[in-house]
Amino acid sequence: MQDPKTGVKSQTQRLVITTIPHAITGEDIVAWIANRFKIDATEARAMGTMMVAFGYIYPLQDHKRLMLKPDTSLYRFQTPYFWPAQQWPVEDTDYAIYLAKRNIRKKGMLELYEQEQYNNLYKWMNHKWDFIVMQAKEQYRAGKERKKPDRVVFDCQERAYWVVHRPPPGTVSAMDYGHDRMVDPNMEEKKTPDYYRRIIMFTQQCIMRPRVKSSVSIGALVKYTITYKEHDPFLHACLPSNPWLTDDVTYWTLNMPNVEIPTKMRVERWTFSFGELLMDPRGRADFRLFLKKEFSGENLAFWEACEDLKWGAAETMKEKAQQIYKTFLARGAPRWINIDGKTMDITVKGLAHPHRYVLDAAQTHIYMLMKKDSFGRYLKSPVFKETQKKAITQLEQNAKRRRPSLSPIILRQQEEEQKAKLAASGPVDITQFFESLLDPFSLFNRPLCNSFTVLSFTIIFNLCHVYVLSNVINQLHTSPFHSIQPKMIRCCPPHYYSLFFSCLFHLQVCCKS
């Protein structure tokens, strides 16, 4: 992009007393990106805005707004020394030196947010502030020795670097550093006297810290479980039925966020804690009706406005904060809330630079006021008793149960029984039957006719030789049952003959049946 021939077209911008070289316009940047990467203008503008947000390109006119405008607004390429790819550690000491140097050059006329940062750094680094001021004076003296255009360009580059890494309030930073670790877990610390002194200090603090007995914590856990047991779908039946199992949406209909008549279990849950009441939209509406009758509805309205500011969109944050101040906090406000003077001072001071959590102190004060005073009176009020009286009771005997499906084991047994019936209805091959009896593993893989078959197989297999059975099978193929001679089974003892023939007879009867 910085190539003189194929890059973005640049020009020299003339100021009042000096000039800034290699200035480029926003429309030229968008056109070059779109032509280079074959994309449309909207996507090219988004890509250019990311380059501005990360500090590779910085604006010359509105330096606080890190976005690319597709017009004649002027920009410059940042020097590679200040690129985020260099991964220089952004230290508070360097920022303090920059603010001190800027304070010297501007003669104390810093911007409001810079003045606050300057004062905070002065408090935190008071022990080495002389070193910071000395470094700032040296850099300011070295900068005055440069030429006027070079000095102006370097000041713009340095200011753009700190706008990216230390953004003004109300702007979104693209450099998400996260929480810096105070101690590197991978670094082995040397066992010095200071190390052991610090270990002793931490141990003493841990000993003095109040602890909770295990019996107390377990008791609190048991109490919580008993309280919420009836409302847990895993521990108790879902009344009237679980819509995911029964395809009945009655449960969802009865528990809609703003249903007219809530269920009895839902109303019962409001009594558990003040947080449960505010989490339920229907309970909050009932509590709002109670506060309206007591002429204190502005407390709940202020709490809801703070929640909307905290979880709302970033672009409307400033307007919402000003509207909350005019409605609830300003003198003579239409819905003025009663908070102490210290909390009011903290809140009004924070509204000078509004952010998501600027009203946390006032919101916490109002929340505790409603929890300790209004919540107890609400549970005893006619409003709550009337809602509790109208609540729908869900009886467990009216719960719709899901029809249980058959177990795979039962289905498999039914299939085996069906196969056995089909096999019994056709002709029986006595040869295959005896062959299956000789296989010791086939007994467990097929259904048996009756218990006598198992007994017969056991007697035959234990008392007779395999050779005897093979002779018997061959004779059954060629001769009738009464023609089998005892000489074929002469290997058996004589007193087993009658038992053997009795088993054969019963087996033949079972096979025919």
For the chain, how big is the Rg over CA atoms in Å? 44
Give the C-alpha separation, 122 to 325, whole Å. 31
Region 497-505: what's the mean pLDDT?
54
- Compute how many other C-beta atoms are within 10 angstroms of the C-beta atom of residue 48: 23
Give me the CATH topology for the region 11-77: Arc Repressor Mutant, subunit A (1.10.10)
Tens of pLDDT, residue by residue over 132-159, are 999 999 999 998 888 888 888 898 999 9
Range in 220-224, 320-324, 487-491 the model is least confident about: 487-491
CATH architecture, domain 243-397: Orthogonal Bundle (1.10)
Q: What is the pLDDT of residues 50-76, one digit of tens each?
A: 999 999 999 988 888 888 988 888 999
End-to-end CA distance of the chain: 95
Sign of CA dihedral 308, 309, 310, 314: positive
Q: Which residues of the chain are in CATH 1.10.167.10 domains?
A: 243-397
**Average pLDDT value over all residues in the chain:** 80
Q: How many whole angstroms separate alpha carbon 334 and alpha carbon 302?
A: 12
- 422 or 369, which is more confident: 369
Q: What is the DSSP string of 324-370?
A: HIIIIISTT-TT-----HHHHHHHHHHTTS--TTTTHHHHHHHHHHI
Q: Which residue type does 203 have?
A: T
Q: Is residue 434's pLDDT more than 70?
A: no
pLDDT at 343 over 50: yes
* 71-to-24, 68, 389 alpha-carbon distances in Å: 11, 9, 66
Q: State yes or no: pLDDT of 87 exceeds 90.
A: no
Phi, psi at 75, each rounded to 5°: -140, 165
CATH 1.10.1240.60 boundaries in the chain: 93-165
Entry pTM:
0.43
Share of the chain above pLDDT 70, in %: 77
Q: Could you give the residue range(s) of every CATH 1.10.10.10 domain in the chain?
A: 11-77
Strands 74-77 and 19-25: antiparallel
pLDDT at 255: 87
Given a cut of 90, whether residue 306 has pLDDT beyond it is yes
Q: Is the distance from CB of 269 to CB of 366 less than 8 angstroms?
A: no
- The CATH class that applies to domain 93-165 reads mainly alpha
Q: Are 282 and 259 in contact (CB under 8 A)?
A: yes
From 50-59, 72-81, 166-175, 496-505, the region with the lowest mean pLDDT: 496-505
**Average pLDDT of span 416-433:** 70
Supply the pLDDT for residue 459. Answer: 52
pLDDT for residue 113 is more than 60: yes
| pLDDT score of 72 | 87
